[in-house]
Amino acid sequence: MIRISVIDNDKLVPAGLRALLADTADIVIVHTATTVGGYLAARTGTTTDVVLLDLRLEDGSDPAANVAVLNATGAAVLVISVHGDRRHVRATIRAGASGYLVKNDDADKLAEAIRTVHTGQLALTAELMTLINDDPPELSPQELQVLYLYGTGSTLAATARRLGIAIPTVRSYLDRIRAKWAATDEPVEDIRSLVHEYPHPDDKSAWQA
């Protein structure tokens, strides 16, 4: 029996999933929650094999960080969302998610994905595999450094101070990054979400270029 937990903003989703999986003898929902914190606090004594995680939770938590926290519990993580886009798919897979499903997928696809990640394999459609294999827009070393510092919580002023540049220069680099992503038809609402798209920049070399 594969034991799954569901973390989703919509409390109706677990009921819908139970209905979808009603005829599936080898999968059972053992726990539901609306936040990762709520799940961690209430899961004592319950073993979960696979966690179905809503991409965007109402508490504003970072999807990739949520995946990493859940992975640490020993469960495989299957991300579910109303749509699939490259940034979020890439970020969650890099953080350790075992798969990504769009919420309108049918019961057969859902059950197949759960079984797949339970065996340690990756559950992604061919379309999503193409998305995550596409390279993100190329950034200069300076843009990468600004993105990393600002994207990991530094303010504009702190980023400027750390790099020895002016605040307007930091804004200029952030605007350039937004423009590069907009040019790929993927406009960015929260630029901090891009930090998971790129490797950690080299502190020593970033400003030598």
Encode pLDDT of 121-177 as tens digits.
Answer: 988 776 666 666 667 888 999 999 999 999 999 999 999 999 999 999 999 999 999
pTM for the whole thing? 0.68
- Please tell me whether residues 92 and 154 are part of one structural domain: no
Q: Quick check: 195 and 151 in contact, CB under 8 A?
A: yes
- Residue after which a domain boundary falls, among 110, 133, 156: 133
Q: Which of 2, 122, 63 is nearest to 113 (CA)?
A: 122
For residue 18, give the CATH number of its domain.
3.40.50.2300
pLDDT of residue 209: 37
Q: What φ, ψ does residue 168 adopt, rounded to 5°?
A: -60, -30
pLDDT of residue 205: 44
In this structure, is residue 207 part of a structural domain? no
In this structure, is residue 174 part of a structural domain? yes
Query: Can you tell me the distance from the alpha carbon of 182 to that of 22, in angstroms, rounded to the nearest whole number?
Result: 43
Query: Can you tell me the distance from the alpha carbon of 132 to that of 109, in angstroms, rounded to the nearest whole number?
Result: 20
- Residue after which a domain boundary falls, among 133, 157, 189: 133
pLDDT of residue 132: 64
92 pLDDT more than 70:
yes
- Please tell me whether residues 125 and 174 are part of one structural domain: no
Query: Can you tell me the distance from the alpha carbon of 70 to that of 67, in angstroms, rounded to the nearest whole number?
Result: 5
pLDDT of residue 206: 44
When pLDDT is averaged across residues 37-46 and rounded to a whole number, the result is: 85
Take residue 84 and report the two structure tokens written for it: 């699939």
When pLDDT is averaged across residues 15-39 and rounded to a whole number, the result is: 88
| Side-by-side strand order, sheet with 99-102 | 27-33, 2-7, 50-54, 76-81, 99-102
- The rounded radius of gyration (Å) of the Cα atoms in the chain is 19
- Please tell me whether residues 33 and 117 are part of one structural domain: yes
Domain span at residue 153? Answer: 141-197
Q: What are the DSSP E strand ranges found in 60-174?
A: 76-81, 99-102
In this structure, is residue 67 part of a structural domain? yes
- Please tell me whether residues 112 and 19 are part of one structural domain: yes
- Please tell me whether residues 38 and 75 are part of one structural domain: yes
Structural domains in the chain (count): 2
Q: What is the dihedral of CA 136, 140, 144, 150, to 10 degrees?
A: -110
When pLDDT is averaged across residues 36-59 and rounded to a whole number, the result is: 89
Provide the 10 A C-beta neighbour count for residue 187: 10
- Spatial neighbors of 89 by CB under 8 A, at least 6 apart, are 100, 124, 128, 131, 132
Q: Percent of the chain, pLDDT > 70? A: 89
Sign of CA dihedral 20, 23, 28, 31: positive
pLDDT of residue 76: 95
First-to-last C-alpha distance (Å) of the chain: 55
